Amino acid sequence: MLHNLKKSLFEILIKIDKNVSINFEDVEVETLFDKKGDFTTNAALKFSKIFGKNPNQLADIILKSINLNNFEKVEIAGPGFINFFLKDESFNTQLFNNKKEFTEKEKVNIEFVSANPTGPLHLAHGRGAVVGDILSNLFEYFGHPVTREYYVNNTGNQINEFLSSILYSISHTYNLNLNEKQFYKGDYINDIAKNCYEKFKPLFDNKLSSDEKNNIVNYAIENLVNQTLQTLVTAGIKFDQISYETTIMGKGHLPLILEKFKQKDLTYEGQLNAPKDFTGTLKDNQLTIFKSTLFEDDEDRALTKNDGTPTYFANDIAYHEDKFQRGFNKLINIWGADHLGYLKRLSSAITSLHPKIDFSVVFCQIVNLKRDNKIQKLSKREGNIFELKNLIDEIGIDNFRYFMSYRKNDTHMDLDIDLIKRENKENPIYYIQYSYARTQSILNKVNKVVDTPVTITSELKNLYKKLLEWDNVVKSAYLKKEVHLIAHYLESLSSYFHTLWSSSKNKPSVKFLDNENNISYNIIKLLHNYQNVLDEGLKILGIKPKLKM
RNA sequence: GCGCUUGUAGCUCAGUAGGAUAGAGCACCAGAUUCCUAAUCUGGGGGCCGCAGGUUCGAUUCCUGCCAAGCGCGCCA
């Protein structure tokens, strides 16, 4: 219906003046839920300038060309809006969703979570995990083959510190004299240390070689990554591809990349300002530096370190090159807000290698945990990290997924544990599930489907219209990569359903079932349509509908 | 200091590729249940859309400046 209306408006507009060109996508038709009408368009306002007419004049011209078949009336209102009032009988016949046309077939790679393999997942990872998974579902809804990818940074100082911390724990627990420093603390380190000790017990009789240390830390990382993936599985999140930084490095992309940069004159050998706390001398070593200031970055960025090894940035470029070589041209990364400053250098490096690549980043802002109406201060340093696993156990998968996705991803958000645990309207997911259970209870009672006329009330009209918006909502969420739009729509849709349901208290004639539990053909079609939209929406959110509550 | 993100009702937040009287939930007040699930519904009060300029028929939305909060600003990852 919305599409047809848009189409007929477009056809009218292009006939008015052949010298004026208009984009079909620029014609807007919106749904109204008040006395002003059922649908509206701002076309006359929007296009008045290019037609050189005033808005009311243009609206008048459009109005005269409109086919009135389905409409009770069409009127010009306010500064030049055209409002459409649908005939009652058209609600049952015209207001159903268009079949989706899946034209998207492009492979998409969505990389998310990618937590450092030195500790368990905590709250902040949860948002990225849910947003990434839902975004993947959304891309699949539109037909894309999606690869959900997880990257493990298993090189660098953090790994040495991780190993050192494990050996420190072993040394402490088993009274060995390993002479190691403690960097990471917590029960999880002691648990992993215990596992490592049991696995590699004989090795500790002698001094550990660097190969042996390597085996120990690799085992520890594998352990931790598996735990992490297991936690995510309890939240319904499964990855198709786990990529290890060391594996990617072994493929040898980096030298070729550096050569290409050199040919494009995007690098130079030189020095940057001394890093924080640096006490040595810089002058002897030249670094390879990427000219990211050419791409509006604040500073040029080092690709190699003082000791000649590649920086994290360099390896990350190689990693994205690897994704490209695996056949992905559309790359989406989900990052925490602490990586905002990293975007320019990486995207400029990638697009300078592959100008046509479609690389984008979805940022997830900080999540605060609220309990007893107080923001909980969480910090690694204080050792009071709230593990993600505990959160999921406490609130359940449905709540976890819904609440992590119902706020716009780039705004700060408070996760109110007490509110989430309430099972009423304050908790939208219960509200949505309850509406589904109500429709199912009707369907369970149906005796016969009969062809009786339906009383068209304003509550019924509103539900029809709201259902019609689904196609636009899901498409908009997809185009903008904003998953919260789905959650908000479902909540709002449920509200229209509950309102319709309750309206029968005062008007028994609008009950879904008659006295013999018969249901009219149009109503059962409506209920199925309602369930269908909730099914699709909840599936994207990764939440199972409840048939009974 | 620089960059990014944010600032909308008492609270938590939607809405902005410029459009009509800025929305929802909570909280507060008043109501609805012999009747398909009251985990629900109906009504009410409550807003210089951070501040000040600019662009135009029209700005919460775009531009500039300022104020406030968060994050980032290594040859860490």
Q: What's the confidence (pLDDT) of residue A381? A: 46
Its ipTM equals 0.93
Residue type, A6: K
What are the tens digits of pLDDT across the range A292-334?
Answer: 988 888 889 999 988 889 999 999 999 999 999 999 999 999 9
Chain A residues 226-245 with Cβ under 7 Å of strand B are: 245
Q: What's the confidence (pLDDT) of residue A132? A: 95
What are the tens digits of pLDDT across the range A485-512?
Answer: 999 999 999 999 999 999 998 888 889 9
Chain A residues 175-204 with Cβ under 7 Å of strand B are: none
CATH 1.10.730.10 domain range(s) in chain A: 428-541
CATH 3.30.1360.70 domain range(s) in chain A: 2-86
Asked if strand B contacts A504 at the CB level, meaning under 7 A, the answer is: yes
Asked if strand B contacts A45 at the CB level, meaning under 7 A, the answer is: yes
Q: How far is residue A224's CA from residue A15's CA, in Å, rounded to a whole number?
A: 65
- The superfamily (CATH) of domain A428-541 is Isoleucyl-tRNA Synthetase; Domain 1 (1.10.730.10)
Distance of CA A212 to the CA centre of its chain: 41
- The superfamily (CATH) of domain A2-86 is Arginyl tRNA synthetase N-terminal domain (3.30.1360.70)
Which is it for strands A81-86 and A330-336: parallel, antiparallel or unpaired?
A: unpaired
List the single protein residue with the shortest CA to C1' distance from B23.
A492
Residue A444: left (phi > 0), alpha (psi -120 to 50), or beta? alpha
| H, E, C per residue of A399-456 | HHHHHHHCCCCCCCEEEEHHHHCCCCCCCHHHHHHHHHHHHHHHHHHCCCEECCCCCC
CA–C1' A130–B8 (A): 27
Contact by Cβ (8 Å): A111, A119: no
* Cβ-based neighbour number of residue A448 at 10 Å: 9
What are the tens digits of pLDDT across the range A160-215?
Answer: 999 999 999 999 999 988 889 898 888 889 999 999 999 999 999 988 899 999 99
